[in-house]
Structure 1
Amino acid sequence: MAREIQITIDCADPAGLSAFWAEALGYQVQAPPPGFASWDEALEAMGVPPERRNDASAVVDPEGSGPRLFFQRVPEGKQVKNRVHVDVRAAPGLQGEDRMAALEAEAERLVARGATRLERHEPAPPLGAGHLIMADPEGNEFCLD
């Protein structure tokens, strides 16, 4: 039986990082519970004090097929390279210079939203199609693939 999965990311600013990843993936910030117009309204009703209202955030695929990304605030900063990372498939079906141009365009778009460009790996057939290594606004590595 297939399972639903959630990818959890430790961070300092859950709301900020969820907004970045919603934009990067074409996702949306998860809606508040039914009956509430906003998360602030829902958290107020739950008795969550204002200073704790950015302890967590989540983004979801609006079509319901991709995994939920959950962002949780932790006290420590990022220490080392990620052992697991997200690959953003920004150039499916493209090859060579067309592929790299599409990846570069997506990198430029995400840098404008707070990402950092780290490395470019040129196509190396037959197995290496070429990709870009990026970091999100908190330094978590991801690939544009």
Structure 2
Amino acid sequence: MASIRQFQVTFDCAEPERVARFWCEVLGYVGPPAPEEFATWDDSARSLPPEQEAAAFVCVDPSGVGPRLFFQRVPEGKVVKNRLHLDVRVGTGLVGEERLATLDAECARLVAIGAVRVRLLPADEDNESCIVMQDIEGNEFCLD
């Protein structure tokens, strides 16, 4: 049986391009080039029926290692806690005050681009500290 080596993470959202650009900034991802027949993504969007304009956006890891992120417009807003969330790994291998300082610095950077700090989950016997946050549409993620 073959195993899956690639996957895509899909976000339901109200404003796909805005949320995608936020995550590009968080992760160092980029938008893919416009389709070959168009000079820009705006030109491509203008070729679509109005109901399909700005309905989706993609961002990719420029190194090709991380998963593709797909953002699709949905009519309903977020109501409850995510059943799945991303852990943004900025403190790997760090402990104690050094870890907290690194998490706090990244948290400040992300708050400046629209994220919301929710709470610090302090270290315990099993886990190091992490910071629970929300993206610009309220989707939870952790700085870990």
- Is TM-score (shorter-chain normalized) higher than 0.5? yes
* Corresponding residue SS for 2:20: helix
Number of equivalent positions:
142
Q: Structure 1 length as normaliser, TM-score?
A: 0.92
Aligned mates of 1:100, 1:72 — CA distance in 2:
34
| Structure 1 residue 18: Cα displacement | 0.3
Aligned mates of 1:112, 1:60 — CA distance in 2:
22
Which residue number corresponds to residue 15 of structure 2? 13
Give the 5 Å matches for 1:37-116: 37-44=39-46, 47-50=47-50, 52-116=52-116
| Structure 1 residue 115: Cα displacement | 0.4
* Corresponding residue SS for 2:63: coil
**Amino acid of the residue matched to residue 132 of structure 1?**
I
| Structure 1 residue 35: Cα displacement | 4.1
Which residue number corresponds to residue 139 of structure 1? 138
**Amino acid of the residue matched to residue 25 of structure 2?**
E
Is residue 118–residue 133 contact of structure 2 (8 Å, CA) maintained in 1?
Answer: yes
Deviation sequence 1:38-91 (CA, Å, 0-9, x none):
1112233xx303563211001100000100110000010001000000000011
Q: Note the residue ranges of structure 2 that are not aligned, 5 or more in a row.
A: none
Is residue 40–residue 53 contact of structure 1 (8 Å, CA) maintained in 2?
Answer: no
Aligned mates of 2:45, 2:19 — CA distance in 1:
19
**Amino acid of the residue matched to residue 138 of structure 1?**
E
**Runs of 4+ deviating beyond 4 Å:** none
**Percent of pairs with identical residues:** 51
Aligned mates of 1:124, 1:6 — CA distance in 2:
32
Is residue 10–residue 71 contact of structure 2 (8 Å, CA) maintained in 1?
Answer: yes
Aligned mates of 1:72, 1:108 — CA distance in 2:
27
Is residue 132–residue 143 contact of structure 2 (8 Å, CA) maintained in 1?
Answer: yes
* Corresponding residue SS for 2:10: strand
Aligned mates of 1:18, 1:137 — CA distance in 2:
10
Instruction: Out of 49-58 and 18-27, give the one that drifted further.
Output: 49-58
